[in-house]
Every structure is written in C-alpha cells, then in structure tokens.
Amino acid sequence: MMTGKTTGILVLALGAMVPSVTLAEQLRFPATLNTSGVPGVIEMPSSASLEDGQLSVTTAHFGNISRNTLTFQISDRMSGSFRYSATRDWPNNGVNTYYDRSFDLRYRLLDETNWRPSLTIGLQDFVGTGLNSAEYLVASKHFGDRVRVSGGIGWGRLGSYNSFSNPLGLDDRPTDFEPTGGTFNFDRWFHGPAALFGGVEWQATDRLRLMAEYSSDGYIEEVGRGLIERKSPLNFGASYQIRPSVDLGLFYLYGSEAAVRFNVLLNPKNPAMGSGNESAPLPVNPAARAAAMSWPAQQSLPSEVTSQIVEAAKPVFEASELELEALHIGDRTATVRFRNPGYMVESQAFGRVARIMTHLMPQRITTFRLVPVDQGMELSALEINRADLEAAEHAPDGGESLYSRVNFYDPATTGLEDGVIAEGLYPRLNWGITPYVNAVLFGLENPLLADVGLRLSGSVDIAPGLSLNGSVTQLVIGNGDDEGDIETTSLPVVRTDRSLYAANNSPAIERLTLDYVFRPGRNFYGRFSAGYLESMFGGVSTELLWKPVGSRLAFGAEINHVMKRDYDQQFGFQDYDTTTAFLSGYYRFDNGYHAQLDVGRYLAGDIGATLSLDREFANGWRVGAFVTRTDASYEEFGDGSFDKGIRVTIPLGALTGQATRDTSAFALRPFNRDGGARLNVQGRLYERVREYHNPEVAESWGRFLR
C-alpha cells in the first residue's frame, strides 16, 4: 500500500513533468467542490477557490453519511462554510441519527504562479463538537490547461490515516467531543498527529472531469461503529457539469462505498437576469420643450395648480413603480418627496424621479430636489441641475460624471412646509394576504421544522410618520410544534419555547403596533413602537439613530420594555417582563462589507455583545454571519454554547429581472436558544436609512440613468 508521504512526493513529481500554465488559463478550470462542499478533489480539499462572491450549495451522500454544505466565497481569498451532516445508525439525543452542524473557514495564502503552487490554509468544523474538526495546508498547481494536482498535510480528521508525529511539536489533541459544542476549538487546531493527502483532477472534456485522490481521513469513529468500510485510502470519481452552475459527481470511495455529490453555484455578481430588464424609463424632457407647455406666467404657482399637478402626476409615478408623496414648486427649485416601493437599487429610483420631473416642471425650474421618504420620514435629499441631467442622458459616460455635479445632503430642512401632499395618502389602508413559511432548519433532532399558513397583513398610514401595522396568521399545516422536549437552563425561557407558540392552531396576532418615525434633528432619526411587537413579546420599543448622509459610520441606541406573550398569541401576556437596551455601532467598508456591533442587555437578562459582518452586493444580495457572546456561561446557554449563525438575503428582482424591493431572507443558526436573544422588532432604523445614503448611492450610481 502506498503511504501518504510517498503518494504526496509522487504527486508533486508527476506535476513537475508537465508544463505549467498561465493564471489566465487557470480561470478556465474552476474549482471542484468535494463531498464536504468546499473546493477540493473528491473528499480531500484543494487550494482552488470559488469566484469572489460565489455561493454554493452542495449535498453529498455515501453509506450512512449525508452532508449538506453552504459555502460563500467571502472575498477573493477567504471562504466560509456551514455544514449540516447526518450520520444514520448513530444514536444521539434520542434519535437514531447523529445530526451535526459545523463551520469551516479557508484562506488562500499564496496565489499560483508559473513556478509555484497556490497555498490554502483551512479550518474544518472549527466551532463544532469536534466530530468533523480538521485543519489543513494544501497546495494546488495546474499543469497544462486540463490538469490540477493538489497535495497537503492535515490534522484532526485529515490526519487520522497513516499519520506521523506533529511536525509542529503539538502532539496533544483532545479526542473527546465537546459536550455542548459550538465553541472555538483552539486547543485542537493543528494539534495531534498529521498525515499527507493528495489528488489529481483531469478536465477530460468541457463538461467531464475525472479525479483520483489519496485520502488521509481514517473515518475512525464511523469505522468503529460499523457505519462505513474503509478498505483503501484511494478514491476515484467523475464530475459532470450539467449546466454551467450545476454539477453532479459520482465517486467510488475507500474501496467500498459509492457516493453521489450534487452542487449548485450562484454568484450574486452574475445573476441570471444580468443587469435586469425593468421597463425603459421615461426619456428626459428638455427644458426648452417644457417651455412650450403653456405654463402660467407667474413665478409662484397657486396651490390649486400645484395640487392639480400632484394629482395628475400620481399615476405617472405609479407606472414607474414609485409613489409621489408631496411636491413643492419654488421659483427655481422643485422639491419632490417620493416613496420607492419598486427599486432595489435606490439610485435607480432617484433617476426615475428626476426623469419624471423633467416632464412635470416648467422651464424656469432649473433644479430638482429629490427626497425619498419612508413612512413620511425624510431619508436624504439629492439636488440635481436640470441641464446636467439633460446633458447626461445620452452621454457616452452613461451619466457617471453626473454624480460629481449633484448635491447630496441631509433632508432635515427641505422647505416642504408649504408643499402639496398627494391626496389619499393619509389616512390610507394597505392590506394583503400572502402565504407564509416559518421554518427552523437543521435541528438537533429534526432537520426541518416548518409551519405553512396564510398571513393577513395590513397597515394604516395615519399621518406622516405615524402608522398602525399588524398581521394575523393562520396555520394551515406544519410540524413547528414537533421540536421535542424543551431543554431549559437557568436562563429565563425567552426563545426555547417557540414550539408552544407554533402549536397554536387558531388565528394568531403576529404583530400589532403603533409606530412613529421622526427626525429629531439633522443626522438623527427616531422610532417609537408600541403594541404586540413580535409573535412572542409585546411592549414598547424606542430607537435613536445618528447617521450623516455621507458617513460610513453610524451609531444607534435602542431601549425596549417587553412582556412575554401568551402562547395563543391573542392579547394576553405571561408573567415575564424585561427591559433590553443596546448601543449599536455600524460601519460600511468598501466592497459592500458591513460591520455592526450591538452591546447591551438581551431578552433573558444576559449582558453582552453581538458582532455582525455582512457582505452586500449592489443588486441587493447579502450574505453575512453573526456571533453573540454574553455573560451567560456555555452551560447556561446549553447546546451550541453561544448564539451564532449565518444569514442570506436574496433580492427577488435579481431573480426575475423586474423592479421590486421584495426579498427572501433566511438565517441559519446551529441553535436558537435563550441566551443572546434579541427582540424581533420591525422597522429598525439603520437599514431603512442607510440605503439612501452614501456610500450606497454613490456606488450604485451607474443605475441612476437606467
């Protein structure tokens, strides 16, 4: 039998005999995803990376083992993965299947050159129970435009076959599983015996890739339990690209097991609908042409004339997926307040409003002031010269230079006091019935808990800033109450009893709140909410946000006093009330990275902080992770040790190509417990405000004239 060391040497020697290729050629040889859903060969990792921003979903099955992995290429060099694996016939937590959740991180240390392989360091299952934990260093090199060879050294799982003493001298590695899981296994990283692994991929045709590898995963626990036979360290397989983003792999593992792997790739930077195919905008109407429209001669239009313009303009806005809220026509400047229910990219909404204004305003109006509002709250103001807009419409630079000539500022004083508000906005009832799905994914005992039903939602816009909002749900079918025994700790039960709420088969008041948003001053935004704030808590919530229009930095403060609602989700409360309070800091980095730090007191009375890091793409795709540490001990928290997870937001417009701000969002938490739990109050200010600020608007300015 070939040893790990000799195989690694052989692989590298073979590689040295094949001519090297340029980096450009490598790009034609994208990463294969292994059975763990990370770039690799078959079971082993490689040093290849997905494209920046790419999301992959991989499911792999062999023997009694299933692995489902979501991987996100966080940056050009770094990727992160969340994996949910199930090993059947392995009793755990009262069920006959061991469900395990784990996170991976990989970082490409070195790029490949003509003479050097790329090098990647990886942590597998680095915050889990330790069942699948491994660390590795792996190098990959392309030879010709059809061959990639990878070889590396692994620890933990990847150092469990044909291993040798730790070359770093870190021989002690705990072998027991963490009791609650979820903690950083620092004492395991790169500890214990190590082993070599390697493999080769051959792009046989445009769609077919053949692979062979030498695995250093001994499957010790699984073999010991009789779950898998491991007769050989060699694995063989083929991967077939069904479509450019869909791949199917069939493998023969360890001389005994047949395996199948299926993966789908999504890249928010290259959505299927490209840059979208929303309807064409109105052409810009030249001011000189507006002069021929028989406007009254006087500079100051009577308010009834402005009212006529407002009412006539409303359908124009609606046809452009926008809503006109108010209009003021001054001597030279016209100010328009508008709502944007249609465009995910706010610059596009600004642009459409500007175009409409060229058709509405007389020639003497030389400046448009565009003010987006949310429930009557002004979010920012963009002032644009009419002549600049005309010049930019067909300019070869696509209006890019126009941004340097617009004035973007805080809308605290827009002089709209004597403007005309569109009729029918206040009060106004909006309502709708939609299906809903409440799902808890990847549980310890059940991979999927989901309730499906109907949601009747409605809102009444009472006055600018003031609204009544609510929703009632009716469960139709589901197993959300099938969560098994509730594991309680010394923390108050604030989230772990969600199955008792889910058991309610009667109409449930999901939310019923009176909300008020306001501008307390320049750069400040305020919110006050009272009522049934979410399905499990009711009370009062207030928030203050400081966010200058051009600032990457924002600060917020939030205080809530809430009571636990009855399980029937009617009007009653239980005997638990608490006050939660947070100070929040927000920072927007380049390339769409957002960081948020919330420090304060959580629902169970524990005190700590939540750090969130998200990457948002200019078309609305968003992928992020969050972690919360509080003064609740790991034992008090229970399984998972502390709250953490990943979240993904998908803009539906990027899937359909049409104008819509609708999104689909989900969060994956290994455990949803009482520690580090926050109130799910709707309409927090930062996300509502910052989208109409810089750098978001500046970075998406290309769509202003779309």
Partner 1 sequence: MKKSIQILGALVIMTVGGCSGGGGGSDRGLLPAIAENAGNMFSGGRAEKVNEFNIEQTFGPEQIAAMSAPTLAGHLLTRDVWSGMTLAFSARGYDTYHTSEGIGLSFRSDVVVSTRGIGGDLFASDMSGTIRALAAGGGGQYQKSMRFLTPLSGFRDVSLTCRMRRDNVERFVIAQRSFSARRYTETCTSEGLSVENHYFRNDAGKILRSRQWLGSEGGYIELFRLKG
Binding site for partner 1 (CB under 8 A): 269-271, 273-286, 289-296, 305, 308-309, 311-313, 315-316, 319-321, 345, 347, 359-360, 390, 393-400, 617-619, 654, 657, 699-703, 705-706
Sign of CA dihedral 684, 688, 691, 693: negative
Minimum distance from CB of 453 to partner 1 (Å)? 32
Minimum distance from CB of 382 to partner 1 (Å)? 16
- CA-based max dimension of the chain: 97
Q: Closer CB to partner 1, residue 278 or residue 461?
A: 278
Minimum distance from CB of 107 to partner 1 (Å)? 24
Phi, psi of 6 (to 5 degrees): -65, -35
Q: Closer CB to partner 1, residue 361 or residue 603?
A: 361
Cβ atoms 31, 49 nearer than 8 A:
yes
74 φ/ψ sector (left φ>0, alpha ψ -120 to 50, else beta): alpha
What is the rounded distance in angstroms from the CA atom of residue 430 to the CA atom of residue 687? 22
Q: What residue has token string 């108010």?
A: 326
Cβ atoms 533, 539 nearer than 8 A:
yes
Comparing CA positions, the residue from 191, 187, 45, 186 lying closest to residue 107 is: 45
Q: Closer CB to partner 1, residue 255 or residue 274?
A: 274
Comparing CA positions, the residue from 620, 669, 627 lying closest to residue 649 is: 620
Q: Closer CB to partner 1, residue 144 or residue 286?
A: 286
Residues facing 545 on adjacent strands:
525, 556
Minimum distance from CB of 292 to partner 1 (Å)? 3
Q: Closer CB to partner 1, residue 330 or residue 605?
A: 330
Q: Closer CB to partner 1, residue 20 or residue 656?
A: 656
State how beta strands 367-374 and 333-339 pair.
Answer: parallel
Locate 79 and state its tokens: 């990727």
Strand (E) or helix (H) holding 356: helix 346-360
Q: Closer CB to partner 1, residue 319 or residue 583?
A: 319
Minimum distance from CB of 73 to partner 1 (Å)? 15
Number of other CB atoms surrounding residue 224 within 10 Å: 9
What is the rounded distance in angstroms from the CA atom of residue 459 to the CA atom of residue 471? 9
Minimum distance from CB of 316 to partner 1 (Å)? 5
Locate 289 and state its tokens: 């042409």
Minimum distance from CB of 328 to partner 1 (Å)? 16
Minimum distance from CB of 280 to partner 1 (Å)? 3
Comparing CA positions, the residue from 161, 138, 158, 133 lying closest to residue 149 is: 138
**Residue type for 25, please?**
E
Q: Closer CB to partner 1, residue 346 or residue 515?
A: 346
Minimum distance from CB of 283 to partner 1 (Å)? 4
Angle (CA) 166-151-16 rounded to 5° is 125
Q: Closer CB to partner 1, residue 76 or residue 636?
A: 76
Angle (CA) 569-575-580 rounded to 5° is 85
What is the rounded distance in angstroms from the CA atom of residue 192 to the CA atom of residue 415? 70
Q: What residue has token string 């991987």?
A: 71
Minimum distance from CB of 344 to partner 1 (Å)? 10
Q: Closer CB to partner 1, residue 388 or residue 643?
A: 388
